[in-house]
Amino acid sequence: MPLLTLGLAAAMAAPPCPEATSPEDFLHGVQRGEQAFAQMDLPGLHTARDEALGDLVCLGGKISPQVAAAFHRLMALEAFTAGDRALVLAEFHAARRLEPGYAIPHDVAPVGHPLVHLYEQAADAAEGALEPPIPPLNGYVMVDGIRGAPRPSGISTVLQIYEDDALVETLLLGAGERMPTWGPMPLEELQRKRFRLGLYGGAGVAAVAATGLFIGHRVAYSRFWSDDADALPSEELGQLRTTSNALLASSAGVGVAALGLGLVAVWRF
C-alpha cells in the first residue's frame, strides 16, 4: 500500500478533532518535520507527518499556497525516507506548482544530495488532467490554498470546502482519487449529461421498436409460407408478402438508427 494511503488511513482512524487547528500551528508542525529530516531524526519525521495528516482535517481556517507547498514537501521527505521515488516526485511537483521560487535549505539537503536532484526533476513530473471542482451552491472550493483552481488529478491536493463563507471540510485528495462534488453540476455539463442520456434513451426505444417490427415481419412471413396460405386469395397473399417485406425493411432501418444513436452517445461523450 502506498505511503500516502497508509498515512491517510491513519488520519481517518484518528479520533474526532478536540479543537480546531490554526493554519499557523499547522505550518509550525510541518516545519518541525523538515527540521527532523535535517537532523536525521526519522522517528520525529514520522511523528510530524502523522500529526500533520491529523491536523489537516481539523483546520479551522484557510491555508495559503505556501502552507500547502510546505505540507507537500513534508510528504515528499517522508516518502524519500521510505524509498518511494514516484511519490517524492509527485509531492515535490505539487509543492513547486505552488511555490516555484522555493529552494531546499542547505541544512536540510546540501547541493548534490539525491533529494535535491529529485526536487529539480520534479519540475517536469506529470500532474494529470485538470479537473474543476464543483462547489456548494453558495460556496467555493480552495485547491491547495487557491480559490476555484482546478485540481490536478495525478498528484495529491488539499481541498477546503466553504459554504456561505464558512469552512465545512478540509481533506487531502490523493493522486487518482475521484473528486467529490458538493453542489449542482454546471449548466453546460448538466446539459451534456442530459443529452447523452437522451441519446441512450432514444437508442433503447429504437431498439425495442426494431425488435417489435422484426417480430411482426416474422409473423407475416410465417403466415405467408404456412400450409394454410394456399387457401388464401391471391390478393391477401400479395398483401402478406408486402407487409412482411415492409416490416423487415423498417426493422433494419430502425435497428441501424438505434445502433447509430448508441455509438454517438459512446464516442461523442
Q: Which amino acid is at 167?
A: L
Type and span of the H or E element at 109? none
Looking at residue 265, its pLDDT comes to: 59
Looking at residue 16, its pLDDT comes to: 66
Q: Is 11 exposed, middle or buried (0-12, 13-18, 19+ CB in 10 A)?
A: buried
Angstrom distance (rounded) from CA 28 to CA 95: 17
142 forms beta bridges with: 147, 160
Looking at residue 210, its pLDDT comes to: 73
Looking at residue 184, its pLDDT comes to: 78
Q: Cα torsion for 232, 236, 242, 244, to the nearest 10°?
A: -50
Among 201, 214, 216, which residue's Cα sits nearest to residue 258?
A: 201
H runs (alpha helix) in the chain? 3-13, 23-38, 42-56, 65-81, 85-98, 114-121, 187-224, 234-268
Segments of the chain scoring below 50 in pLDDT? 1-3, 5-14
Q: Helix, strand, or coil here: 142? A: strand
Q: Is 126 exposed, middle or buried (0-12, 13-18, 19+ CB in 10 A)?
A: exposed
Looking at residue 266, its pLDDT comes to: 65
Looking at residue 235, its pLDDT comes to: 75
Task: Count CB atoms within 10 A of the CB of residue 78.
Answer: 27
Q: Is 260 exposed, middle or buried (0-12, 13-18, 19+ CB in 10 A)?
A: middle
Looking at residue 188, its pLDDT comes to: 60
Angstrom distance (rounded) from CA 178 to CA 108: 34
